[in-house]
Amino acid sequence: MAGKAAGSVAKAVAQYQYPWREKLVKYKDELAKGVWGYWELGAWKPLGISARCRARLRKEVLLAGEDWPYDPERKEMRTRRKGHKCDRIAAEKRENTARLMEKMPDMLLDYKKRRWEKKMKEEDKGKL
């Protein structure tokens, strides 16, 4: 007797299908408002359908091979590097220092030349 009852329950469960078409028609307006909720007259309104029911409905629609247009658009992946800023800046500073050290002899010559010209101007002013 118990075996027949269990078999009939299993058969009923196997035949049962979630009525996603009716649910989709019923909650179409709510689903179009967003995933979590929406602002209305300056107040946050949660959806009329719970997140669990929404997820189940979405799953059933996708399993049936239909498209689900109510997902929010995906944002771009972040391209920022992780890690400590001081480590990145330190490497950039070392590269910059190496480049400047290559230019150092020319910079020193320019500095000495400017200093010598300034000294000559001051001597000319002192003579006049």
Query: To which residue do tokens 């400590």 refer?
Result: 84
pTM: 0.47
Q: Are 57 and 23 in contact (CB under 8 A)?
A: yes
Which tens digit of pLDDT belongs to each residue from 50-64?
A: 889 889 999 998 998
- Name all contacts of 112-120 with Cβ < 8 Å and 24+ positions apart: none
Domain residue extents for the chain: 11-64, 83-127
Taking only the tens place, the pLDDT of each residue in 62-71 is: 998 888 888 8
